[in-house]
Amino acid sequence: MKTISFCLIFLLLLTACAATDLKPVTDETFAFREDEKRLWLRSQEEQAFLNQSGLLYDDPQVEAYLNQIATQLQPPEVYRHIPIKVRILRDAYLNAFAYPNGVIYVHTGIIARAENEAQMATLLAHEMTHCTHRHAAKNFRAVKNNTAFLAAFQTTVGGIGGGIGSLANVLGSLGTIAATTGYSRELETEADMVGFRLIANAGYDPREAPKLFVHLKEELSEENIKEPYFFGSHPQLDARIANYEALIDNDRFETFGDTKNAAIFQEKIKRVILDNAVLDIKLGRFEHAQRGIEKYLALVPEDAAAYFYLGEAFNQRGGDEDIQHSIRNYEKSIALDPASAQAYRKLGLAYYKNGENFQASKYLRKYLTYSPQAADRKFIEYYLEQIDTSK
Amino acid sequence: MRRILMILPLFFIIGCMTPWSQVGGPYHDTQYGYAVDLPLGWSKLNTDKYLFITRDGGMLQNIFIERMGTDVVFSHTKKKLNKSMLPMEVAEVIIDNISSDKTVLNFQVLENNPLILGADHGFKILFTYNNADDLKFKSIYCGFLTDEWFYTIRYTAPERHYFRKDIDEFERVLGSFKRTS
């Protein structure tokens, strides 16, 4: 019995060694392995599909800015081995994930909630470490039958339904694992540790590292929200916070820089905040949306579209006083942009529902004037007919 | 010969267990309180949760009729329906739910029109999307709210060739729809 146990432990150690002998890409002995090349090919296939799915957030300037932050974090030789590229996904849920070939996808949801460049750098550094330290390859080597694992994983996730089940079909197996479960606790901790060192070396204030995750956790707890992704899950946020706080305690961070770049960051990503709030409205997460729009309005106080969407958040939430709030915001939108077709439409419908037909007719007609090719033109004409016949 | 005789009952049993049955002509669903005229030569999926019919296979064309409670929980958003909603507002909730589904790619609303079915006022949305295999579909989603229920009548087919082919059949089904309770 002892012999069998010894053999089993020996085998386990061998397996562990096989999985962990992959040095980071910065190591002198670094060379790509065959299985890793296959993972890269698979990553490229999954990304090709994702990139043409319509889920990408199309703003080259914001994307360039995030890539600029990423570039500052790594020595140039890393980019020679792994061409790290940050892309943005139009998704209000809180997440970011990396493919083994260095392509990192960051959701608009998490960008919109970050407060400064140092926090965004923390997130990117964590994800970059998964690539530079070859975590995907280590993860897959630790599983005996990778193909069966991938298939089984996707089937299991597919059965969950709702957000993540359907997402699995778009991301592919590698993307789904990276986006939802992440890696083992040891590898995630390594990503925190190495990432922490990267941001500190780049001159960012390391005390900002846990703040994004504390902030996200508070937000999820306040609204009792459960999200399907890695950075939207309480245990993972707790682990990140604990790791970063321990690193701050252990490190003499006084010797590091204190760069936060809050104002630059907010200026660069302000449009993402509003666009993400619109996604939150679509998802029915009205408190999230309201918070996002108010954050955007603090940066751009005279934005007609922002007032329209604030009106939408109130209107769709539909509480007792929400309708009045929505009308006020639609009117403010029109005051700022007299050609705000959608605001006329929503004002018209709000008055129509309230039986105020004169006002309803006025605004609905204005909507059709400013949006003559509207997909819902027949609907509006139908309501105008109803108003006319009721006179 | 004996082998064939032994296999025949197996075929018979499998035949009885088939999930599809032929339909056509008047169809009255007493459980969900509606009646429609179904096209001849189509098959119905054997389930009592909804009506799903197709002629050549669900991916090539299907007509889907379902009744849900107004408290329906949507799969992809947290939005809810309420009785005070205008048909146009209900349509927007539906559009948001469909477009938040990550397998519905490049979603585009082509038309969003009012629909009157008997005494019920609803909406009729025409939209296109690509599925996760990048096949482009075209779909009509009709729906209306009553005091207790939300009825939907839908038609989906690949945009190329199939949508146009059976659109008239769908319009006949839609035109024949009557609530019976």
Tokens read off for B136: 């482009």
Contact B117, B108 (CB under 8 A): no
Rounded to an integer, the average pLDDT of A278-291 is 94
- A285 contact B CB<8A: yes
User: What is the per-residue pLDDT for A321?
Assistant: 87
Shortest Cα–Cα distance, B32 to chain A (Å)? 25
Q: A 50-69 residues with CB below 8 A of B? A: 52-55
Shortest Cα–Cα distance, A73 to chain B (Å)? 32
Chain B contacts of A276, Cβ < 8 Å? none
Cβ neighbourhood burial of A225 (10 Å; 0-12, 13-18, 19+): middle
A243 vs A84, A114, A185, A237, CA distance in Å? 25, 19, 11, 10
User: What is the per-residue pLDDT for B153?
Assistant: 97
Segment of A209-213, A247-251, A270-274, B55-59 carrying the highest mean pLDDT: A270-274
Alpha-carbon distance of A63 to A79, in angstroms, equals 17
Residue of A nearest to B106 (CA): A54
Pairing assessment for the beta strands B120-130 and B136-145 based on DSSP bridges: antiparallel
Q: Is residue A163's pLDDT more than 80?
A: no
Tokens read off for A232: 């939207």
Alpha-carbon distance of A56 to A105, in angstroms, equals 9
- Burial pattern B117-126, b for ≥16 Cβ within 10 A else e, equals beebebbbbb
Segment of A41-55, A147-161, A223-237 carrying the highest mean pLDDT: A41-55
The values of phi and psi at residue B112, to 5°, are -140, 100
Rounded to an integer, the average pLDDT of A217-236 is 75
Segment of A11-15, A24-28, A85-89 carrying the highest mean pLDDT: A85-89
Alpha-carbon distance of A52 to A346, in angstroms, equals 33
User: What is the per-residue pLDDT for A153?
Assistant: 44
Instruction: Please report, in tens digits, the pLDDT of each residue of chain B (181 residues total).
Output: 566 666 656 555 555 556 889 999 999 999 999 999 999 999 999 999 999 999 999 999 999 999 999 998 898 898 999 888 999 999 999 999 999 988 898 899 999 999 998 889 999 999 999 988 889 999 999 999 998 999 999 999 999 999 999 999 999 999 999 999 7
- For residue A365, the surrounding DSSP H or E stretch is helix A357-370
Shortest Cα–Cα distance, B166 to chain A (Å)? 23
Partners of B150 in the beta sheet?
B68, B145
- A167 contact B CB<8A: yes
- Burial pattern A47-57, b for ≥16 Cβ within 10 A else e, equals bebbeebbbeb
Return the number of other C-beta atoms located less than 10 Å from residue B100's C-beta: 24
Confidence class for position A235, pLDDT limits 50, 70, 90: confident
Partners of A104 in the beta sheet?
A86, A98
Chain B contacts of A53, Cβ < 8 Å? 105-106
Rounded to an integer, the average pLDDT of A24-49 is 87
Residue of B79, B104, B141 best to disrupt the A interface, most CBs of A under 10 A = B79
Confidence class for position A167, pLDDT limits 50, 70, 90: low
User: What is the per-residue pLDDT for A10?
Assistant: 43
A138 vs A275, A287, B36, B60, B94, CA distance in Å? 37, 40, 58, 43, 43
Q: Mean pLDDT for chain A?
A: 85
The values of phi and psi at residue A96, to 5°, are -155, 145
User: What is the per-residue pLDDT for A52?
Assistant: 83
Beta strands in B72-135 (DSSP E): 105-117, 120-130
Shortest Cα–Cα distance, B21 to chain A (Å)? 27
Tokens read off for A337: 């942009």
Confidence class for position A18, pLDDT limits 50, 70, 90: very low
Tokens read off for A189: 């901790």
B60 vs A320, B22, B40, B56, CA distance in Å? 46, 17, 17, 6
Indicate if the alpha-carbon torsion angle A235, A236, A241, A247 is positive or negative: positive
Cβ neighbourhood burial of B107 (10 Å; 0-12, 13-18, 19+): middle
Indicate if the alpha-carbon torsion angle A213, A219, A223, A228 is positive or negative: negative
> Domain coordinates of chain A in residue numbers?
2-255, 339-391
Confidence class for position A54, pLDDT limits 50, 70, 90: confident
Helices A146-158 and A162-176 pack at an angle, to 10 degrees, of 160
**Residues whose CB is less than 8 angstroms from the CB of residue A341 and which lie 6 or more positions away in sequence, other chains included:** A366, A367, A370, A371, A374
Helices A357-370 and A341-353 pack at an angle, to 10 degrees, of 160
The values of phi and psi at residue B180, to 5°, are -115, -5
DSSP letter string, A295-328: HHHHHSTT-HHHHHHHHHHHHHH--TTHHHHHHH
Alpha-carbon distance of A303 to A340, in angstroms, equals 11
Rounded to an integer, the average pLDDT of A233-255 is 82
Q: Taking CB atoms and an 8 Å limit, are A170 and B103 in contact across chains?
A: yes
Best CA proximity match to A276, nearest among A31, A44, A87, A90: A90
Tokens read off for B115: 């629909």
Q: Taking CB atoms and an 8 Å limit, are B100 and A352 in contact across chains?
A: no
- For residue A335, the surrounding DSSP H or E stretch is helix A322-336
Least confident of A200-214, A218-232, B60-74: A218-232
Q: Is residue A171's pLDDT more than 80?
A: no
- B116 contact A CB<8A: no
Return the number of other C-beta atoms located less than 10 Å from residue A71's C-beta: 15
Q: Taking CB atoms and an 8 Å limit, are A55 and B79 in contact across chains?
A: no
Tokens read off for B51: 């009506």
User: What is the per-residue pLDDT for A168?
Assistant: 58
Helices A377-389 and B87-99 pack at an angle, to 10 degrees, of 170
> Which of the two residues, B140 and A40, has the higher pLDDT score?
B140
User: What is the per-residue pLDDT for B18?
Assistant: 66
Rounded to an integer, the average pLDDT of A15-36 is 74
Q: Taking CB atoms and an 8 Å limit, are B77 and A282 in contact across chains?
A: yes
Q: Taking CB atoms and an 8 Å limit, are A161 and B75 in contact across chains?
A: yes
A22 vs A69, A84, A307, B42, B108, CA distance in Å? 27, 19, 52, 58, 46
Q: Tell me the CB-side half-sphere exposure of residue A116, using CA atoms within 13 A.
A: 16
DSSP letter string, A208-254: GTTHHHHHHHHHHHHTT---SSGGGSHHHHHHHHHHHHHHHHHS-GG
Q: Which domains does chain B have, with CATH numbers?
A: 20-179 (3.40.1000.10)
User: What is the per-residue pLDDT for A220?
Assistant: 79
Q: Which residue has the tokens 């140092």?
A: A118
Least confident of A32-36, A160-164, B2-6: A160-164
Shortest Cα–Cα distance, B66 to chain A (Å)? 19
User: What is the per-residue pLDDT for B9?
Assistant: 63
- A278-282 long-range contacts (CB < 8 A, ≥24 apart) are A278/A309, A279/A90, A279/A91, A279/A92, A279/A108, A279/A109, A280/A92, A281/A309, A281/A312, A281/A313, A281/A316, A282/A92, A282/B77, A282/B96, A282/B99, A282/B100
